[in-house]
Structure 1
Amino acid sequence: MCLIAFAWQTHPRWRLLLAGNRDEFHARPSAPLSHWTDMPIIGGRDLEAGGTWLGVAKEGRCCVVTNVRDPSDPQQGTSRGLLATDYLAGPDDATRHANTLQALASSYRPFNLLTFDAEHGFYIGNRPSSKAQPIEPGVHGLSNADFNTPWPKTRALMQRLQAWMDAGHEVDFAPLFRALADEHQAPDELLPDTGVGLERERWLSSAFIRGERYGTRACTIVAIGYDGKGLIVERRFGLAGRFEGESELPL
């Protein structure tokens, strides 16, 4: 995933309500949202490395991973997509997993990781150094920088998620999908400088990225109730943002 906003332990119905976009090269093969046959995971699947960018598992566990935008980083180490499968299919709860992973985080490619179980949520990252912190109840955001870094598109999605909750919505996810599909670019004075140049910063500043080689591949909503039940909805896109399908699975 490359853009995420989520509400943790603050919505009256949903313990975790997450809206996110996965941005990736269109040539990288992936499988759509499904129940995996070899692991107890529901999610899309990266067919190149075998992991996932977002998945859910039994008892309402959820995991989401993004990369870190830094063209000067050599991007060496273990695939970050395996971080999600290791947590979702592993025996540790979010707290124990975070404590263990923090000691190993430097061996992975640059990553930001969100993990949730029935009681706790954690942010774990490994740039510029390894860190793990519990997530407090509230609305939070994540893109390709540190947790809650106020990039314009991250702030905008957080605000629209908060507005969705303030309006009393529970299962009408259409406003959230509209927020994920927003192609508005931020003003130059608000853009971060991540080393990719002004033109590319502009292009990457919208929630939905449309491109021939790289762009938004999936928009996903995850809603997990306090009883661990809920649903996950995925909309998929191809070259130049062409819609390719939608899947919805209960949890």
Structure 2
Amino acid sequence: MCILFFILNKFPKADQYKLILAANRDEYYARPASVAERWKECDFVIGGRDLEPGREGGTWLAISTGTKDKTFKFGSLLNITGEPIDENALHRGNLVVDYVKNPISNVEYCQNLIDTDKKFNSFNLITIEIGAEINRTVHYSNVNNVVQEWPCNEPLAFGNSLSHEPYEKVKAGREKFREIINRENQSKDDLVNSLKNFLCDREKHWPDEVLNRRVSKWADKLSSICVRHDGANYGTRTRTIILIDGNNKVDFYEETMTSTNPDDAWTRTHIQTEF
């Protein structure tokens, strides 16, 4: 399970951000993954990497600041639960890798996925581009084969269901995210700390008809923004916050669990860059 909240401002004021983004990645505690860093094969890309044998190198979330036309790119993959699973399907994590490493636009990239004959299990792919003349969010799901551009200047939220039937925690979280980003006279540190606390929220948004229908087990335990199910050794493994100011300066914050115990070691990363 994963969850993503963000707002993309098309014409931000001097004291506003072009992008404010907060995301959680949920996974089994034992599944190996690297912390967020610049990638060795292309240092203009920042993100964590999957280290699961047979799936090495994929990612759930990454950004790129290295295109020639000074365009920022963000990609995030969220699995969709409750859909048929093909054990022989291709690894979905490479969808984000291919997007952020290459100069193709998010519209063209997502459009091309409709026509591919490659087989992936169900997913939501959320892509963002910010440039001199571009401020665009494009979402694609292979469940309904729809490419959709979403509006700017409005908080958006995605989870592990189809966008037209969000989980209760996605709906509630979007309103809480809205309240946080609309607070007046808060410093960057205040904003980041509020978003970190938001991503640690373990309040259950239950009952949830859609979640209960799509998930055969643990449904109530997955109904919070921050998931923790110690009985299954599963929960929120990574928390990510991304800010882009009016001068295209990027702050990438991430907290990653680096043990198999959520009460134990977490690695905190803060990378600053620009485009």
Shorter-chain TM-score above 0.5: yes
How far residue 132 of structure 1 moved from its aligned partner, in angstroms, is 0.8
| 8 Å Cα contact 1:106/1:126 also seen in 2 | no
The structure-2 alpha-carbon separation of the partners of 1:64 and 1:247, relative to structure 1 and needing over 3 Å to count, comes to same
Q: Which residue of 1 aligns with 2:170?
A: 154
Q: Which residue of 2 aligns with 1:107?
A: 119
Q: Which residue of 1 aligns with 2:7?
A: 7
Equivalent-residue separation in structure 1 for 2:168 and 2:183 (angstroms):
22
How far residue 31 of structure 1 moved from its aligned partner, in angstroms, is 0.4
How far residue 170 of structure 1 moved from its aligned partner, in angstroms, is 5.5
2:248 is equivalent to residue 233 of structure 1: no
What does 1:29-178 align with in structure 2 at a 5 Å threshold?
A: 29-39=32-42, 40-48=44-52, 49=55, 50-58=57-65, 59-70=71-82, 72-74=84-86, 76-104=88-116, 107-118=119-130, 119=134, 120-127=136-143, 129-137=144-152, 138-147=154-163, 149-168=165-184, 169=186, 171=188, 172-178=191-197
| 8 Å Cα contact 1:71/1:196 also seen in 2 | no
Equivalent-residue separation in structure 1 for 2:201 and 2:210 (angstroms):
16
The structure-2 alpha-carbon separation of the partners of 1:248 and 1:130, relative to structure 1 and needing over 3 Å to count, comes to same
Aligned residues: 249
Query: Partner letter of residue 23 of structure 1?
Result: D
| 8 Å Cα contact 2:30/2:260 also seen in 1 | no
Q: Tell me the C-alpha RMSD between the 2 structures.
A: 2.1
How far residue 148 of structure 1 moved from its aligned partner, in angstroms, is 5.5
Equivalent-residue separation in structure 1 for 2:120 and 2:161 (angstroms):
16
| 8 Å Cα contact 1:69/1:145 also seen in 2 | yes
The structure-2 alpha-carbon separation of the partners of 1:146 and 1:181, relative to structure 1 and needing over 3 Å to count, comes to same
Taking structure 2 as the reference length, what is the TM-score of the superposition? 0.83
Q: Which residue of 2 aligns with 1:179?
A: 198
* Matched position secondary structure for 1:193: helix
| 8 Å Cα contact 1:45/1:52 also seen in 2 | yes
Which digits, 9 at most, give the CA deviation of each residue in 1:157-204, with x for residues without a partner? 21121111211345221111111101111232666323434x611000
* Matched position secondary structure for 2:48: strand
Larger Rg: 2
| 8 Å Cα contact 1:75/1:110 also seen in 2 | no
The structure-2 alpha-carbon separation of the partners of 1:106 and 1:162, relative to structure 1 and needing over 3 Å to count, comes to farther
Identify unmatched segments of 5+ residues in structure 2: 66-70
2:29 is equivalent to residue 26 of structure 1: yes
How far residue 60 of structure 1 moved from its aligned partner, in angstroms, is 1.9
* Matched position secondary structure for 1:194: helix
The structure-2 alpha-carbon separation of the partners of 1:240 and 1:133, relative to structure 1 and needing over 3 Å to count, comes to same
| 8 Å Cα contact 1:30/1:44 also seen in 2 | yes
Q: Which residue of 2 aligns with 1:249?
A: 271
Query: Partner letter of residue 44 of structure 1?
Result: G
| 8 Å Cα contact 1:105/1:125 also seen in 2 | no
Identify unmatched segments of 5+ residues in structure 1: none
2:205 is equivalent to residue 201 of structure 1: no
| 8 Å Cα contact 2:85/2:121 also seen in 1 | no
Equivalent-residue separation in structure 2 for 1:105 and 1:160 (angstroms):
40
Equivalent-residue separation in structure 1 for 2:218 and 2:208 (angstroms):
14
Taking structure 1 as the reference length, what is the TM-score of the superposition? 0.90
Equivalent-residue separation in structure 2 for 1:65 and 1:104 (angstroms):
17
Deviates more, 1:205-214 or 1:19-28: 205-214
The structure-2 alpha-carbon separation of the partners of 1:76 and 1:133, relative to structure 1 and needing over 3 Å to count, comes to farther
